[in-house]
Amino acid sequence: MEQISFLAFDLGATSGRSILGTLRDGKLQMKELTRFPNQILELGGHYYWNIFSLYEHLKAGMIACAKEGAKITSIGIDTWGVDFALIGEDGQILGMPLAYRDLHTTGAPEEYFAKVMPRKEVYDLTGIQVMNFNSLYQLYAMQRDHSSPLKAAVRALFMPDALSYMLTGKMATEYTIASTSQILNPRTKKMEAKLLEKMGVKGSLFGEVVPTGTVVGTLTDALAAETGLDKVPVVAVAGHDTASAVAAVPASDEKFAYLSSGTWSLMGIEVKDPVITDETAALNITNEGGVEGTTRLLKNITGMWILEQCIKEWKKEGAEYSYPEIVKMAGEATPFRSFIDPDDPSFANPPSMAAAIRNYCAASGQPVPQTHAELIRCIFESLALKYKDILEKFRVLAPFPIEKLHIIGGGSKNRLLDQFTANAIGIPVVAGPSEATAIGNIMLQARAAGCVGSLQQMRDMIAKVVETETFTPQDTAAWNEAYYKIKHLLK
Ligand code: LFR
């Protein structure tokens, strides 16, 4: 095979990266070109994404790519889910997109169910777990609050689609990212206009949904000239980062569960068709769109967010730890002392995460973690037990026996948590690749260019080139005992 290169932009809630991916003789090489911070911008009591600054960073990534001298075949962008930019009649981006941690959606789902459409009907139509921040409730809150950008908008574009629009001047709504909104019907794979129209929002706001792999357009003349990249096509890869990551699970068959571990922990299975039943509704399980028409049946678990917030807080107080130090501290702290439910609302966006953990432990009658090491141990053990709790639910739902858990994403590098997880769930954990999202982004561009065929072929190829580590369960009796002791805390 000739050498072929792609440029991937992978944006998370705390940082973004541009990566040059090159395929040659069935081998994938990745080179990080730039890394940049992404931060929620607080302004006038609201939280926003500075999309204009992100655009500047994408430009810097493209310039770095041109300097490498690599001739790239296409560009692809993936980001976190649910957030969107609004576009006016003249094509202008109407202000900064609101960030999903903005508090305007607190209680919004309940208001929507009472005033617009009952919860059951919304879930039956969309199969998406109810979370305050879903695009549907963001739009509800904006409409309720008479948002002027929403009034003026003729289109809305999800974050990856909005950035692709900034690069090409062309608008497209990609399927996997659209599926995070709770406005898409997974059976028809189209947006459900009535979910919007019934609350007075234009049903056509998101336009037609295009399949993953569609070419959105080419770089604008101005950008081609400024970056030196020519008029390269921008491909709508799996715009949702989790969809890109799941596409890169190096599994040889379907009998696995995955855990995409980063700021969020997304745990689930891959199935052929959506599963929308009373049981999945009661468990608040989501049916997000995957690659090749698959469904990502999954659940959001609050992941590294809790630790990330503690680290940020401790840094301000003058205590800065490297990742290996954090893992070492947790490894040395007393086991099974106190636990939290990571998904308790008190951890969503508290002024002090450490205080929130201490309050939770005190309120639930447990020893209060005092030291940083005790807090970290509490976070890691609680996550492992929460993973067990959720995996049990997928074991019941899965049409196949779940033989292993693939942990992918940055969190898979945490070997202590990988081992804790294997111990808690009692089946092997296969950790890696940590770069799953970027790999998925690149491989989906390769697929659009005709270099790889099916999703399974993609996975076989990925399995050959990435390094994974398998963790076999240990101390399962102690972990089981801990689980049953704290099960009542997990909602
Ligand atoms: C992970 C993720 C999750 C989504 C959350 C918010 O980065 O995309 O899948 O639920 O962010 O958008």
User: Residues 195-254: pLDDT tens digits?
Assistant: 999 999 999 999 999 999 999 999 999 999 999 999 999 999 999 999 999 999 999 999
CA 185 to chain centre: 20
Q: What is the pLDDT of residue 211?
A: 97
Question: What is the arithmetic mean of pLDDT over 126-138?
Answer: 97
Confidence of residue 336 (pLDDT cuts 50, 70, 90): very high
Give Cα 36 distance to the centre of its chain. 18
User: For position 70, what pLDDT does the model report?
Assistant: 87
User: Which residue has the CA at smallest separation from atom 8 of ligand 1?
Assistant: 80
Q: Ligand 1 pocket test: which of 177, 264, 408 has the largest number of ligand atoms within 8 Å of its C-beta?
A: 264
ipTM over 0.90: yes
For ligand 1, the distance from its centroid to the CA atom of residue 179, given in whole angstroms, is 11
* Ligand 1, atom 12, residue with closest C-alpha: 81
Token pair of 484 as six digits: 């049953």
pLDDT > 70: what percent of the chain? 100
Q: Which residue in the list 241, 341, 389, 418 is annotated as catalytic?
A: 241
The alpha carbon of 3 and the centre of ligand 1 are apart by a number of angstroms equal to 33
Tell me which CATH code domain 4-239 carries: 3.30.420.40
Report in angstroms the alpha-carbon separations of 249 from 17, 339, 367.
20, 30, 38
CA of 134 to the centre of ligand 1 (A): 10
Question: Which residue CA neighbors atom 1 of ligand 1 most closely?
Answer: 80
Q: Do domains 4-239 and 241-432+468-491 have the same CATH topology?
A: yes
- The answer, yes or no, to whether any atom of ligand 1 lies below 6 A from the CB of 266, is yes
Residue 242 Cβ < 6 Å to ligand 1: yes
**Whether the predicted model's global pTM rises above the 0.90 cut:** yes
Phi (first) and psi of residue 159, to 5 degrees: -50, -50
* Nearest atom, ligand 1, residue 131 CA: 10
Is residue 33's pLDDT more than 60?
A: yes
Mutate to test the pocket of ligand 1, among 82, 263, 308 (most ligand atoms within 8 A of CB): 82
Per the annotation, the verdict on 230 as an active-site residue is no
Q: How far is CA 97 from the centre of its chain?
A: 17
> In which band, very low, low, confident or very high, does the pLDDT at 179 lie, cut at 50, 70 and 90?
very high
Ligand 1: nearest atom to the Cα of 82: 12
What average pLDDT does the structure give for the chain?
A: 97
Residue range 180-198: average pLDDT? 97
CA of 300 to the centre of ligand 1 (A): 8
For residue 379, what are its two tokens? 């976070």
Q: How far is the CA of 107 from the centre of ligand 1 (A)?
A: 19
Query: According to the model, what pLDDT value does residue 320 have?
Result: 96
The ligand 1 atom nearest the CA atom of 288: 9
Q: What is the CA radius of gyration of the chain?
A: 22
- The per-residue pLDDT for 128 is 98
Q: What is the whole-number distance in angstroms between the Cα of residue 264 and the centre of ligand 1? A: 7
pLDDT for residue 206: 98
pLDDT value, residue 321: 95
CA distance 358 to 366: 9
CA of 242 to the centre of ligand 1 (A): 7
Task: Ligand 1, residue 12: give the atom nearest the CA.
Answer: 7
Residue 10: CB within 6 Å of ligand 1? no
At 1 the pLDDT is 56
Q: For residue 364, how far is its CA from the centre of ligand 1 (angstroms)?
A: 29
Mean pLDDT, to the nearest integer, of 448-472?
A: 94
Closest-lying ligand 1 atom to the alpha carbon of residue 266 = 9
Per-residue confidence band for 349, with pLDDT thresholds at 50, 70 and 90 = confident
256 lines ligand 1 (CB under 6 A): no
Atom 6, ligand 1: residue with shortest CA distance: 81
Q: Is 80 touching ligand 1 by the criterion CB < 6 Å?
A: yes
| Residue ranges covered by each domain of the chain | 4-239, 241-432+468-491
- Ligand 1: residue of 84, 128, 241 to mutate (most ligand atoms within 8 A of CB) is 241
374, two tokens: 């005790």
Distance from C-alpha of 12 to C-alpha of 315, rounded to nearest angstrom: 21
Domain 241-432+468-491 grouped into CATH 3.40.630.30: no
Position 155 pLDDT exceeds 60? yes
